[in-house]
A and B are shown apart, each in its own frame.
Chain A
Amino acid sequence: MRKVAIVGGGATQCGKRDASWRDLAQEAGKAMFASVNNLHQKDVDTLIVGAAQPERFIFQAHVAPMVAEYLGIVPRKVLARTELMCASGQAAIRYAWASVASGMSDVAVAFGVEKMYMPDMAEAQTNMTCVLDREWDGINGLSAPPFFAMTAQRHMLEFGTTKEQMALVSAKNHHYSTMNPIAHFQKEVRVEDVFKSPMVSPPLNLFDCSSMTDGAAGLILVPAENAKKYTDTPMYIIGTGQANIGNAVNNLASLTEWIPLKMAVNETLETAKITRDEIDIAELHDCFTISEIMEYEAFGWCEKGKGGRFIEEGGPYIGGKVAANPRGGLLGCGHPMGATAILQALDIFQQFKGEVQEGRHVKGAENAVAHNLSGAANVHSIIAYSRSPR
Protein backbone atom coordinates (compact mmCIF):
# COMPACT_ATOMS: atom_id res chain seq x y z
CA MET A 1 0.00 0.00 0.00
CA ARG A 2 1.27 3.42 -0.94
CA LYS A 3 0.92 6.41 1.38
CA VAL A 4 -1.56 8.90 -0.05
CA ALA A 5 -1.53 12.68 0.17
CA ILE A 6 -4.09 15.36 -0.57
CA VAL A 7 -2.36 18.17 -2.44
CA GLY A 8 -5.19 20.53 -3.28
CA GLY A 9 -8.89 21.16 -3.24
CA GLY A 10 -11.60 23.69 -3.84
CA ALA A 11 -15.23 24.33 -3.03
CA THR A 12 -18.24 26.45 -3.85
CA GLN A 13 -20.04 28.85 -1.61
CA CYS A 14 -22.57 26.68 0.23
CA GLY A 15 -26.16 27.70 0.82
CA LYS A 16 -29.42 28.17 -1.02
CA ARG A 17 -27.72 28.86 -4.31
CA ASP A 18 -29.10 30.38 -7.50
CA ALA A 19 -27.20 27.73 -9.41
CA SER A 20 -27.76 24.27 -10.88
CA TRP A 21 -26.02 21.00 -9.98
CA ARG A 22 -23.87 21.40 -13.08
CA ASP A 23 -22.99 25.02 -12.15
CA LEU A 24 -21.91 23.89 -8.68
CA ALA A 25 -19.71 21.13 -10.12
CA GLN A 26 -17.98 23.59 -12.43
CA GLU A 27 -17.40 26.18 -9.69
CA ALA A 28 -15.84 23.62 -7.36
CA GLY A 29 -13.80 22.02 -10.15
CA LYS A 30 -12.28 25.32 -11.20
CA ALA A 31 -11.42 26.22 -7.59
CA MET A 32 -9.88 22.77 -7.05
CA PHE A 33 -7.58 22.93 -10.08
CA ALA A 34 -6.61 26.54 -9.27
CA SER A 35 -5.29 25.36 -5.88
CA VAL A 36 -2.41 23.24 -7.23
CA ASN A 37 0.71 23.88 -9.27
CA ASN A 38 1.99 21.73 -12.11
CA LEU A 39 -1.22 19.82 -12.62
CA HIS A 40 -3.36 19.79 -15.75
CA GLN A 41 -6.84 18.29 -15.62
CA LYS A 42 -5.73 15.77 -18.25
CA ASP A 43 -3.28 14.34 -15.68
CA VAL A 44 -6.20 13.10 -13.59
CA ASP A 45 -6.64 9.38 -14.26
CA THR A 46 -9.34 8.67 -11.64
CA LEU A 47 -12.54 10.46 -10.71
CA ILE A 48 -14.90 9.42 -7.92
CA VAL A 49 -18.01 11.56 -7.51
CA GLY A 50 -19.92 11.47 -4.23
CA ALA A 51 -23.55 12.29 -4.89
CA ALA A 52 -26.35 11.05 -2.68
CA GLN A 53 -29.50 11.54 -4.73
CA PRO A 54 -29.05 13.20 -8.13
CA GLU A 55 -31.79 10.91 -9.51
CA ARG A 56 -34.24 12.54 -7.12
CA PHE A 57 -32.96 16.10 -6.76
CA ILE A 58 -32.06 16.82 -10.39
CA PHE A 59 -33.53 13.75 -12.17
CA GLN A 60 -30.13 12.70 -13.45
CA ALA A 61 -28.27 9.40 -13.16
CA HIS A 62 -24.74 8.53 -14.36
CA VAL A 63 -23.31 11.76 -13.00
CA ALA A 64 -19.61 10.80 -12.76
CA PRO A 65 -18.98 11.08 -16.54
CA MET A 66 -20.95 14.32 -16.50
CA VAL A 67 -18.53 15.83 -13.98
CA ALA A 68 -15.61 14.50 -16.08
CA GLU A 69 -17.04 16.16 -19.18
CA TYR A 70 -17.68 19.49 -17.47
CA LEU A 71 -14.20 19.60 -15.89
CA GLY A 72 -12.24 18.37 -18.87
CA ILE A 73 -11.13 15.21 -17.07
CA VAL A 74 -10.50 12.05 -19.12
CA PRO A 75 -10.60 9.18 -16.60
CA ARG A 76 -8.66 6.10 -17.68
CA LYS A 77 -8.13 4.18 -14.45
CA VAL A 78 -11.23 4.40 -12.26
CA LEU A 79 -14.49 6.30 -12.70
CA ALA A 80 -17.50 5.89 -10.43
CA ARG A 81 -20.14 7.66 -8.43
CA THR A 82 -20.45 6.78 -4.74
CA GLU A 83 -23.73 6.80 -2.83
CA LEU A 84 -23.79 6.40 0.91
CA MET A 85 -26.31 9.15 1.62
CA CYS A 86 -24.82 11.61 4.10
CA ALA A 87 -21.43 9.87 3.79
CA SER A 88 -21.40 9.78 -0.03
CA GLY A 89 -18.46 12.20 -0.15
CA GLN A 90 -16.50 10.23 2.41
CA ALA A 91 -17.06 7.10 0.33
CA ALA A 92 -15.60 9.02 -2.64
CA ILE A 93 -12.46 9.93 -0.66
CA ARG A 94 -12.04 6.36 0.62
CA TYR A 95 -12.39 4.89 -2.90
CA ALA A 96 -9.96 7.45 -4.37
CA TRP A 97 -7.55 6.77 -1.51
CA ALA A 98 -7.79 2.99 -1.99
CA SER A 99 -7.18 3.33 -5.71
CA VAL A 100 -4.08 5.50 -5.27
CA ALA A 101 -2.83 3.39 -2.35
CA SER A 102 -3.16 0.20 -4.38
CA GLY A 103 -1.02 1.63 -7.16
CA MET A 104 -3.81 1.60 -9.72
CA SER A 105 -4.26 5.39 -9.85
CA ASP A 106 -1.65 8.14 -9.85
CA VAL A 107 -3.80 11.27 -9.75
CA ALA A 108 -7.30 10.87 -8.35
CA VAL A 109 -10.02 13.42 -7.78
CA ALA A 110 -12.52 12.83 -4.99
CA PHE A 111 -15.45 15.08 -5.75
CA GLY A 112 -18.83 15.76 -4.19
CA VAL A 113 -21.92 17.62 -5.37
CA GLU A 114 -25.44 18.03 -4.07
CA LYS A 115 -28.19 20.36 -5.22
CA MET A 116 -30.94 20.12 -2.59
CA TYR A 117 -33.15 23.17 -3.08
CA MET A 118 -36.13 22.36 -5.26
CA PRO A 119 -39.15 24.49 -6.22
CA ASP A 120 -41.35 22.28 -4.00
CA MET A 121 -39.62 21.45 -0.73
CA ALA A 122 -42.10 18.63 0.01
CA GLU A 123 -40.53 16.86 -2.95
CA ALA A 124 -37.10 17.34 -1.38
CA GLN A 125 -38.45 15.95 1.91
CA THR A 126 -39.76 12.95 -0.03
CA ASN A 127 -36.24 12.28 -1.23
CA MET A 128 -34.99 12.42 2.34
CA THR A 129 -37.62 9.93 3.50
CA CYS A 130 -36.44 7.04 1.32
CA VAL A 131 -33.12 6.94 3.17
CA LEU A 132 -34.18 4.69 5.98
CA ASP A 133 -35.88 1.46 4.86
CA ARG A 134 -38.63 3.12 2.80
CA GLU A 135 -41.17 0.28 2.93
CA TRP A 136 -40.90 -0.33 6.69
CA ASP A 137 -39.59 2.90 8.30
CA GLY A 138 -39.94 5.71 5.73
CA ILE A 139 -43.56 4.74 5.24
CA ASN A 140 -44.20 5.85 8.84
CA GLY A 141 -42.84 9.31 8.07
CA LEU A 142 -39.51 8.34 9.54
CA SER A 143 -37.02 10.71 7.93
CA ALA A 144 -33.93 11.96 9.75
CA PRO A 145 -35.48 14.56 12.11
CA PRO A 146 -38.01 12.20 13.74
CA PHE A 147 -35.44 9.41 13.93
CA PHE A 148 -32.86 11.60 15.69
CA ALA A 149 -35.64 13.14 17.81
CA MET A 150 -36.37 9.69 19.24
CA THR A 151 -32.64 9.08 19.69
CA ALA A 152 -32.46 12.33 21.66
CA GLN A 153 -35.55 11.41 23.69
CA ARG A 154 -33.97 8.10 24.74
CA HIS A 155 -30.57 9.71 25.44
CA MET A 156 -32.26 12.33 27.65
CA LEU A 157 -34.20 9.60 29.47
CA GLU A 158 -31.29 7.18 29.92
CA PHE A 159 -28.46 9.63 30.65
CA GLY A 160 -30.09 12.90 31.72
CA THR A 161 -28.89 14.82 28.67
CA THR A 162 -30.65 18.20 28.46
CA LYS A 163 -31.95 20.37 25.66
CA GLU A 164 -29.64 23.15 26.92
CA GLN A 165 -26.62 20.88 26.41
CA MET A 166 -27.81 20.06 22.90
CA ALA A 167 -28.33 23.77 22.17
CA LEU A 168 -24.71 24.45 23.19
CA VAL A 169 -23.59 22.30 20.23
CA SER A 170 -25.66 24.43 17.85
CA ALA A 171 -24.35 27.67 19.38
CA LYS A 172 -20.72 26.48 19.17
CA ASN A 173 -20.90 25.35 15.57
CA HIS A 174 -22.83 28.40 14.39
CA HIS A 175 -20.24 30.57 16.15
CA TYR A 176 -17.41 28.93 14.19
CA SER A 177 -19.35 29.10 10.92
CA THR A 178 -19.67 32.89 11.25
CA MET A 179 -15.92 32.90 10.56
CA ASN A 180 -16.16 30.55 7.58
CA PRO A 181 -16.94 32.56 4.45
CA ILE A 182 -18.28 29.56 2.47
CA ALA A 183 -20.64 28.43 5.27
CA HIS A 184 -24.38 28.41 4.64
CA PHE A 185 -25.12 30.18 7.96
CA GLN A 186 -23.23 33.30 8.94
CA LYS A 187 -25.16 34.44 12.03
CA GLU A 188 -24.52 33.70 15.70
CA VAL A 189 -27.08 31.38 17.28
CA ARG A 190 -27.39 31.61 21.06
CA VAL A 191 -28.80 28.85 23.26
CA GLU A 192 -32.05 30.80 23.66
CA ASP A 193 -32.32 31.17 19.86
CA VAL A 194 -32.35 27.36 19.54
CA PHE A 195 -35.28 27.19 22.00
CA LYS A 196 -37.10 29.96 20.13
CA SER A 197 -36.67 28.37 16.69
CA PRO A 198 -39.67 26.40 15.35
CA MET A 199 -40.23 22.89 16.71
CA VAL A 200 -39.51 20.36 13.97
CA SER A 201 -39.79 17.03 15.79
CA PRO A 202 -39.80 17.27 19.57
CA PRO A 203 -37.36 17.50 21.31
CA LEU A 204 -35.58 18.91 18.23
CA ASN A 205 -36.06 22.54 17.27
CA LEU A 206 -35.04 23.86 13.86
CA PHE A 207 -31.60 24.98 15.08
CA ASP A 208 -30.94 21.46 16.43
CA CYS A 209 -31.06 20.29 12.79
CA SER A 210 -28.63 20.72 9.91
CA SER A 211 -30.15 22.03 6.72
CA MET A 212 -30.65 21.21 3.09
CA THR A 213 -27.84 22.98 1.28
CA ASP A 214 -26.47 23.34 -2.23
CA GLY A 215 -22.73 22.89 -2.56
CA ALA A 216 -19.84 21.10 -4.22
CA ALA A 217 -16.18 20.45 -3.47
CA GLY A 218 -13.26 18.43 -4.75
CA LEU A 219 -9.88 17.13 -3.56
CA ILE A 220 -6.80 15.94 -5.45
CA LEU A 221 -5.09 12.78 -4.16
CA VAL A 222 -1.65 11.55 -5.23
CA PRO A 223 0.94 9.08 -3.89
CA ALA A 224 2.79 10.70 -0.98
CA GLU A 225 6.13 10.45 -2.78
CA ASN A 226 4.82 12.78 -5.53
CA ALA A 227 3.06 15.23 -3.23
CA LYS A 228 5.75 17.94 -3.10
CA LYS A 229 5.55 18.28 -6.88
CA TYR A 230 2.17 19.94 -6.43
CA THR A 231 2.33 21.70 -3.07
CA ASP A 232 4.72 22.50 -0.20
CA THR A 233 2.03 21.64 2.32
CA PRO A 234 0.35 18.32 1.54
CA MET A 235 -2.00 16.61 3.97
CA TYR A 236 -1.64 12.87 4.46
CA ILE A 237 -4.33 10.22 4.91
CA ILE A 238 -2.94 8.20 7.80
CA GLY A 239 -5.82 5.90 8.64
CA THR A 240 -9.47 5.13 8.12
CA GLY A 241 -12.31 3.05 9.54
CA GLN A 242 -15.85 2.18 8.66
CA ALA A 243 -18.51 -0.07 10.17
CA ASN A 244 -22.18 -0.88 9.72
CA ILE A 245 -24.68 -2.86 11.76
CA GLY A 246 -28.22 -3.33 10.46
CA ASN A 247 -30.41 -1.02 8.43
CA ALA A 248 -34.06 -1.09 9.50
CA VAL A 249 -34.70 0.43 12.91
CA ASN A 250 -35.46 -3.01 14.43
CA ASN A 251 -32.00 -4.25 13.55
CA LEU A 252 -29.90 -1.42 15.02
CA ALA A 253 -27.47 -2.57 17.69
CA SER A 254 -28.67 0.20 20.01
CA LEU A 255 -30.47 3.50 19.74
CA THR A 256 -28.37 5.40 22.28
CA GLU A 257 -24.96 3.83 21.79
CA TRP A 258 -23.51 3.87 18.29
CA ILE A 259 -21.59 0.60 18.35
CA PRO A 260 -20.53 0.80 14.66
CA LEU A 261 -19.02 4.21 15.43
CA LYS A 262 -16.96 2.73 18.26
CA MET A 263 -15.80 0.01 15.84
CA ALA A 264 -14.87 2.62 13.20
CA VAL A 265 -13.04 4.74 15.80
CA ASN A 266 -10.96 1.75 16.93
CA GLU A 267 -10.14 0.82 13.34
CA THR A 268 -9.16 4.41 12.55
CA LEU A 269 -6.89 4.82 15.58
CA GLU A 270 -5.30 1.44 14.93
CA THR A 271 -4.59 2.07 11.24
CA ALA A 272 -3.43 5.65 11.90
CA LYS A 273 -1.30 4.54 14.86
CA ILE A 274 -2.45 7.48 16.95
CA THR A 275 -4.36 7.78 20.23
CA ARG A 276 -7.58 9.76 20.64
CA ASP A 277 -5.60 12.30 22.69
CA GLU A 278 -3.40 13.02 19.66
CA ILE A 279 -6.41 14.21 17.65
CA ASP A 280 -6.35 17.99 17.55
CA ILE A 281 -9.29 18.63 15.20
CA ALA A 282 -12.42 16.52 14.84
CA GLU A 283 -14.85 17.23 12.05
CA LEU A 284 -17.85 15.42 13.51
CA HIS A 285 -21.11 14.65 11.73
CA ASP A 286 -23.42 17.03 13.62
CA CYS A 287 -26.47 16.42 11.42
CA PHE A 288 -28.37 17.00 14.67
CA THR A 289 -27.11 18.39 17.98
CA ILE A 290 -27.66 15.02 19.70
CA SER A 291 -25.37 13.38 17.12
CA GLU A 292 -22.34 15.41 18.13
CA ILE A 293 -22.98 14.69 21.82
CA MET A 294 -23.07 10.95 21.12
CA GLU A 295 -19.92 11.24 19.01
CA TYR A 296 -17.91 12.74 21.92
CA GLU A 297 -18.85 9.57 23.80
CA ALA A 298 -18.10 7.08 21.03
CA PHE A 299 -14.71 8.66 20.30
CA GLY A 300 -13.95 8.24 23.98
CA TRP A 301 -13.27 11.87 24.86
CA CYS A 302 -15.75 11.42 27.68
CA GLU A 303 -17.63 8.56 29.33
CA LYS A 304 -20.77 7.03 27.84
CA GLY A 305 -23.73 9.25 28.65
CA LYS A 306 -21.56 12.25 29.62
CA GLY A 307 -21.49 13.94 26.18
CA GLY A 308 -23.77 16.72 27.38
CA ARG A 309 -21.57 17.47 30.35
CA PHE A 310 -18.48 17.33 28.09
CA ILE A 311 -19.64 20.39 26.13
CA GLU A 312 -20.82 22.19 29.29
CA GLU A 313 -17.31 21.81 30.65
CA GLY A 314 -15.69 23.19 27.48
CA GLY A 315 -14.29 19.92 26.11
CA PRO A 316 -15.09 20.30 22.38
CA TYR A 317 -14.09 23.95 21.87
CA ILE A 318 -10.81 25.24 20.43
CA GLY A 319 -8.42 25.11 23.38
CA GLY A 320 -10.41 22.29 25.01
CA LYS A 321 -9.75 18.55 24.89
CA VAL A 322 -10.47 18.42 21.14
CA ALA A 323 -11.52 21.15 18.69
CA ALA A 324 -14.81 19.78 17.38
CA ASN A 325 -16.10 21.31 14.17
CA PRO A 326 -14.01 24.50 13.96
CA ARG A 327 -15.28 24.64 10.35
CA GLY A 328 -18.79 25.26 11.67
CA GLY A 329 -20.04 21.71 11.27
CA LEU A 330 -23.06 20.65 9.30
CA LEU A 331 -25.18 22.82 11.59
CA GLY A 332 -23.31 25.97 10.56
CA CYS A 333 -22.04 25.14 7.09
CA GLY A 334 -25.07 23.23 5.85
CA HIS A 335 -25.13 19.66 4.63
CA PRO A 336 -24.87 19.22 0.84
CA MET A 337 -24.67 15.45 1.31
CA GLY A 338 -22.25 14.36 -1.42
CA ALA A 339 -19.98 17.35 -0.74
CA THR A 340 -19.94 17.34 3.08
CA ALA A 341 -16.99 14.98 3.66
CA ILE A 342 -14.98 16.74 0.95
CA LEU A 343 -15.67 20.09 2.62
CA GLN A 344 -14.56 18.65 5.97
CA ALA A 345 -11.29 17.36 4.48
CA LEU A 346 -10.66 20.61 2.64
CA ASP A 347 -11.10 22.64 5.80
CA ILE A 348 -8.65 20.42 7.70
CA PHE A 349 -6.20 20.86 4.81
CA GLN A 350 -6.56 24.63 5.16
CA GLN A 351 -6.28 24.41 8.95
CA PHE A 352 -2.92 22.63 8.62
CA LYS A 353 -1.76 25.31 6.16
CA GLY A 354 -2.90 28.09 8.50
CA GLU A 355 -5.23 29.44 5.85
CA VAL A 356 -8.35 29.73 7.96
CA GLN A 357 -9.74 32.70 9.85
CA GLU A 358 -7.98 33.58 13.11
CA GLY A 359 -10.92 32.92 15.47
CA ARG A 360 -11.39 29.34 14.31
CA HIS A 361 -7.76 28.42 13.66
CA VAL A 362 -6.52 25.42 15.65
CA LYS A 363 -2.88 26.49 15.88
CA GLY A 364 -0.24 23.81 15.69
CA ALA A 365 -2.72 21.05 14.88
CA GLU A 366 -0.95 17.87 13.77
CA ASN A 367 -3.72 15.28 13.41
CA ALA A 368 -7.41 15.41 12.59
CA VAL A 369 -10.33 13.09 11.99
CA ALA A 370 -13.38 13.59 9.81
CA HIS A 371 -16.45 11.53 10.58
CA ASN A 372 -19.72 10.96 8.78
CA LEU A 373 -22.68 8.91 9.79
CA SER A 374 -25.39 7.85 7.39
CA GLY A 375 -28.87 6.36 7.48
CA ALA A 376 -30.26 5.59 10.90
CA ALA A 377 -26.75 6.16 12.31
CA ASN A 378 -26.10 2.51 11.41
CA VAL A 379 -23.11 3.35 9.19
CA HIS A 380 -20.10 5.31 10.43
CA SER A 381 -17.13 6.32 8.30
CA ILE A 382 -13.96 8.03 9.49
CA ILE A 383 -10.72 9.23 7.89
CA ALA A 384 -7.66 10.37 9.87
CA TYR A 385 -5.55 13.13 8.36
CA SER A 386 -2.14 14.43 9.38
CA ARG A 387 0.19 17.26 8.54
CA SER A 388 3.05 14.72 8.38
CA PRO A 389 3.21 11.32 6.66
CA ARG A 390 3.87 9.59 10.06
Chain B
Amino acid sequence: MSVKFEKIKRQQMIKFPYMLDFYPLEDEKFTRTSKFFQNLKEGKLTTTKCKTCGKLLWPPRIMCPNCFSEDLEWVNLGTEGELYAFTEMKAGAPLGFVEDCPFCIGLVKIGGLLISSRIDGAKFEDLKIGDKVGLKIVELEDGRVFYRFFKG
Protein backbone atom coordinates (compact mmCIF):
# COMPACT_ATOMS: atom_id res chain seq x y z
CA MET B 1 0.00 0.00 0.00
CA SER B 2 1.21 3.55 -0.65
CA VAL B 3 2.04 5.96 2.18
CA LYS B 4 -0.77 8.35 3.06
CA PHE B 5 -0.17 12.03 3.95
CA GLU B 6 -2.74 14.10 5.79
CA LYS B 7 -2.64 17.58 7.36
CA ILE B 8 -4.27 17.54 10.76
CA LYS B 9 -5.64 20.51 12.74
CA ARG B 10 -5.08 21.39 16.36
CA GLN B 11 -6.68 24.01 18.56
CA GLN B 12 -4.53 27.08 17.87
CA MET B 13 -5.07 29.00 21.09
CA ILE B 14 -4.69 27.23 24.39
CA LYS B 15 -6.11 28.93 27.47
CA PHE B 16 -3.27 30.25 29.66
CA PRO B 17 -2.70 27.19 31.83
CA TYR B 18 -2.86 27.73 35.58
CA MET B 19 0.41 25.93 36.05
CA LEU B 20 2.23 28.46 33.87
CA ASP B 21 0.61 31.31 35.79
CA PHE B 22 2.64 32.95 38.52
CA TYR B 23 -0.47 34.11 40.36
CA PRO B 24 -1.63 31.43 42.79
CA LEU B 25 -5.09 29.85 42.99
CA GLU B 26 -6.50 31.98 45.75
CA ASP B 27 -9.99 30.92 46.70
CA GLU B 28 -10.93 28.54 49.50
CA LYS B 29 -11.41 25.61 47.11
CA PHE B 30 -7.67 25.62 46.39
CA THR B 31 -5.93 26.89 49.53
CA ARG B 32 -6.49 27.05 53.26
CA THR B 33 -4.80 30.48 53.36
CA SER B 34 -7.34 32.23 51.13
CA LYS B 35 -7.92 34.71 53.98
CA PHE B 36 -4.65 36.41 52.93
CA PHE B 37 -6.21 37.29 49.57
CA GLN B 38 -9.56 38.28 51.08
CA ASN B 39 -7.66 40.67 53.36
CA LEU B 40 -5.77 42.08 50.36
CA LYS B 41 -9.09 42.84 48.68
CA GLU B 42 -9.90 44.99 51.73
CA GLY B 43 -6.57 46.81 51.40
CA LYS B 44 -4.81 44.92 54.19
CA LEU B 45 -1.45 43.13 53.88
CA THR B 46 -1.51 40.41 56.51
CA THR B 47 0.23 37.23 57.53
CA THR B 48 -0.09 34.49 60.11
CA LYS B 49 1.42 34.65 63.58
CA CYS B 50 1.66 31.68 65.92
CA LYS B 51 -0.42 32.27 69.06
CA THR B 52 1.43 29.52 70.90
CA CYS B 53 5.07 30.53 70.40
CA GLY B 54 4.64 34.02 68.99
CA LYS B 55 6.57 33.43 65.74
CA LEU B 56 5.64 35.69 62.85
CA LEU B 57 5.40 33.56 59.70
CA TRP B 58 5.90 34.51 56.07
CA PRO B 59 4.58 33.25 53.75
CA PRO B 60 1.23 32.66 55.55
CA ARG B 61 0.76 29.12 56.90
CA ILE B 62 -1.74 26.73 58.36
CA MET B 63 0.82 25.42 60.86
CA CYS B 64 3.76 26.89 62.77
CA PRO B 65 7.01 25.19 61.67
CA ASN B 66 8.56 26.19 65.00
CA CYS B 67 6.12 24.48 67.41
CA PHE B 68 3.63 22.74 65.04
CA SER B 69 0.74 24.66 66.56
CA GLU B 70 -2.25 25.27 64.31
CA ASP B 71 -3.46 28.07 66.55
CA LEU B 72 -2.49 30.96 64.28
CA GLU B 73 -3.86 34.49 64.00
CA TRP B 74 -3.92 36.95 61.11
CA VAL B 75 -1.90 40.08 61.82
CA ASN B 76 -1.78 43.31 59.84
CA LEU B 77 1.68 44.27 58.53
CA GLY B 78 0.80 47.90 57.76
CA THR B 79 0.78 49.86 54.53
CA GLU B 80 4.22 51.45 54.43
CA GLY B 81 7.55 49.69 54.01
CA GLU B 82 11.21 50.56 53.53
CA LEU B 83 13.29 49.51 50.54
CA TYR B 84 16.13 47.19 51.63
CA ALA B 85 17.41 46.23 48.14
CA PHE B 86 16.17 46.68 44.58
CA THR B 87 16.93 46.01 40.96
CA GLU B 88 15.23 46.23 37.60
CA MET B 89 14.26 43.40 35.26
CA LYS B 90 15.60 44.71 31.95
CA ALA B 91 15.73 41.43 30.04
CA GLY B 92 14.81 37.80 30.52
CA ALA B 93 11.28 38.21 31.88
CA PRO B 94 9.02 35.14 31.97
CA LEU B 95 5.78 34.67 30.04
CA GLY B 96 3.11 36.99 31.33
CA PHE B 97 5.67 39.63 32.43
CA VAL B 98 7.45 40.24 29.11
CA GLU B 99 5.14 43.17 28.27
CA ASP B 100 5.93 44.79 31.66
CA CYS B 101 9.70 44.98 31.00
CA PRO B 102 11.52 46.90 32.32
CA PHE B 103 10.08 46.77 35.83
CA CYS B 104 11.54 47.16 39.30
CA ILE B 105 11.76 44.46 41.96
CA GLY B 106 12.69 45.06 45.56
CA LEU B 107 13.03 43.60 49.01
CA VAL B 108 10.85 45.57 51.39
CA LYS B 109 11.10 45.74 55.18
CA ILE B 110 7.60 45.83 56.62
CA GLY B 111 6.06 44.75 59.92
CA GLY B 112 9.19 42.87 60.99
CA LEU B 113 9.51 40.97 57.71
CA LEU B 114 11.65 41.26 54.60
CA ILE B 115 9.47 40.41 51.62
CA SER B 116 10.00 40.58 47.87
CA SER B 117 7.73 42.71 45.73
CA ARG B 118 7.30 44.49 42.44
CA ILE B 119 8.07 48.20 42.94
CA ASP B 120 5.78 50.31 40.78
CA GLY B 121 5.89 54.00 39.91
CA ALA B 122 9.66 54.30 39.55
CA LYS B 123 12.58 53.51 37.29
CA PHE B 124 15.73 51.95 38.73
CA GLU B 125 17.46 55.35 38.68
CA ASP B 126 14.68 56.89 40.83
CA LEU B 127 15.12 54.46 43.72
CA LYS B 128 17.52 54.31 46.62
CA ILE B 129 17.94 51.99 49.58
CA GLY B 130 15.87 53.25 52.53
CA ASP B 131 13.12 54.78 50.37
CA LYS B 132 9.62 54.64 51.82
CA VAL B 133 7.22 52.61 49.66
CA GLY B 134 3.46 52.26 49.92
CA LEU B 135 1.21 49.23 49.61
CA LYS B 136 -0.61 48.68 46.33
CA ILE B 137 -3.11 45.96 45.46
CA VAL B 138 -3.30 44.72 41.86
CA GLU B 139 -6.30 42.81 40.54
CA LEU B 140 -6.29 40.43 37.56
CA GLU B 141 -9.18 40.24 35.07
CA ASP B 142 -10.46 37.12 36.82
CA GLY B 143 -10.64 38.85 40.19
CA ARG B 144 -7.50 37.39 41.76
CA VAL B 145 -5.36 39.90 43.68
CA PHE B 146 -1.76 40.35 44.77
CA TYR B 147 0.31 42.99 46.54
CA ARG B 148 2.95 45.34 45.18
CA PHE B 149 4.61 48.46 46.55
CA PHE B 150 4.90 51.86 44.91
CA LYS B 151 7.23 54.81 45.24
CA GLY B 152 5.88 58.32 45.72
- Do A and B pair up? The answer is yes
Query: Can you list 14 residue pairs at the A/B interface with Cβ under 8 Å?
Result: A122-B94, A128-B94, A130-B22, A136-B59, A136-B116, A141-B94, A149-B87, A150-B85, A153-B129, A199-B90, A201-B88, A202-B88, A248-B58, A250-B116
**B93 contacts which of A125, A202, A251, A255 (Cβ < 8 Å)?**
A125
B91 within 8 A of A: yes
| B-chain residues with CB within 8 Å of residue A142 when the two chains form the complex | 105, 116
**Among B20, B93, B95, B115, contact of A250 (Cβ-Cβ < 8 Å):** B115
Q: Which residue of A lies closest to B22 (CB)?
A: A139
CA distance A150 to B24 in the complex (A): 25
Given contacts A142-B105, A146-B89, A201-B87, are A135 and B118 in contact (CB under 8 A)?
A: no
Residues of B with C-beta under 8 A to A198: 90-91
Instruction: Evaluate contact between A249 and B115: CB separation under 8 angstroms.
Output: yes
A198 to B101, CA, bound (A): 15
Query: In chain A, residues 128-151, which have Cβ atoms closer than 8 Å to a Cβ of chain B?
Result: 128-130, 133-143, 145-146, 149-151
Chain B hits for A157, CB < 8 A: 129
B117 / chain A contacts, CB cutoff of 8 Å:
140
- In Å, the complex CA distance between A251 and B59 comes to 9
Interface pair A141/B105, CB less than 8 Å apart: yes
Other-chain contact of A255, B85, B90, B106, B129 (Cβ < 8 Å): B85
Partner of B86, one of A143, A153, A200: A153
With a cutoff of 8 Å between Cβ atoms, the chain A residues found around residue B59 in the complex are 133, 135-136, 248, 250
Which of B22, B86, B92, B95 is A150 in contact with, Cβ under 8 Å? B86
Residues of A96-136 at the interface with B, using a CB-CB cut-off of 8 Å, are 122-123, 125-126, 128-130, 133-136
Q: Which residues of chain A have C-beta atoms less than 8 A from B95's C-beta?
A: 122-123, 125-126
Instruction: Sort A-B residue pairs by CB-CB distance and give the 7 closest, nearest first.
Output: A149-B87, A150-B85, A126-B94, A135-B24, A129-B94, A139-B22, A250-B58
Q: Is A187 engaged at the interface, CB distance under 8 Å to the other chain?
A: no
A140 engages B114 (CB within 8 Å): no
Q: How far is the CB of A290 from chain B (nearest CB, A)?
A: 12
Known: A125-B94, A126-B95, A199-B90. A251 touches B58 (CB 8 A): yes
A130 CA to B94 CA, complexed, in Å: 10
Do B103 and A141 have beta carbons less than 8 Å apart? yes
Known A140-B118, A141-B93, A255-B85; 17 more pairs at CB < 8 Å: A122-B93, A125-B93, A135-B22, A135-B59, A139-B24, A145-B89, A146-B88, A146-B105, A150-B85, A151-B85, A199-B91, A200-B90, A201-B89, A201-B92, A250-B113, A250-B116, A251-B58
Contact A126 B58 (CB under 8 A): no
CA distance A137 to B147 in the complex (A): 12
A154 to chain B: which residues have CB within 8 Å?
84-85
CA distance A133 to B24 in the complex (A): 11
Contacts of B106 in A (CB 8 A): 150
Which residue of chain A is the closest to B19 with respect to CB atoms? A130
Which interface class (under 10, 10 to 19, 20 to 34, 35 or more) fits B?
35 or more
Report Cα–Cα, A153/B124, bound state, in Å.
12
In angstroms, Cα B88 to Cα A203, docked, is 9
Q: Once bound together, how far apart are the Cα atoms of A249 and B115, in whole Å?
A: 7
Please name all residues of chain B whose beta carbon is closer than 8 Å to the beta carbon of A250 when the two chains form the complex: 58-59, 113-116
A255 to B22, CA, bound (A): 24
Residues of A within 8 A of B88 (CB): 146, 201-202
Nearest residue, chain A, Cβ from B60: A136
Query: Quick one: CB contact mask for A197-236 with B, threshold 8 Å, 1 for yes?
Result: 0111111100000000000000000000000000000000
Contacts of B115 in A (CB 8 A): 136, 249-250
- Chain A residue numbers with a CB within 8 Å of B150 are none
CB contact between A202 and one of B94, B113, B124, B129 (< 8 Å): that residue:
B124
CB neighbours of A143 from chain B (8 A): 92, 94
Give A169-212 interface residues, CB cut-off 8 Å to B: 198-204
**Smallest CB gap from B90: residue in A:** A199
Contact mask B104-122 → A, CB, 8 Å, 1/0? 0111000001111110000
* B97 in the interface (beta carbon within 8 A): yes
Q: Which residue of A lies closest to B85 (CB)?
A: A150
- Chain A nearest Cβ from B71, distance in angstroms: 21
A128 to B20, CA, bound (A): 12
Bound Cα distance A145, B93 (Å): 10
CB distance from A55 to the nearest CB of B (A): 10
- A residues less than 8 Å from B87 (CB atoms): 146, 149-150, 153, 201-204
A140-B86 contact, Cβ under 8 Å, with A145-B92, A249-B116: no
Pairwise interchain contact A141-B90, C-beta atoms closer than 8 A: no
Specify which of A128, A133, A141 lies most central, judged by the most chain B CB atoms within 10 Å of its CB: A141
CB distance from B135 to the nearest CB of A (A): 14
**A126 CB contacts on chain B under 8 angstroms:** 20, 94-96
A132 CB, min distance to chain B CBs, angstroms: 8
Interface pair A125/B22, CB less than 8 Å apart: no
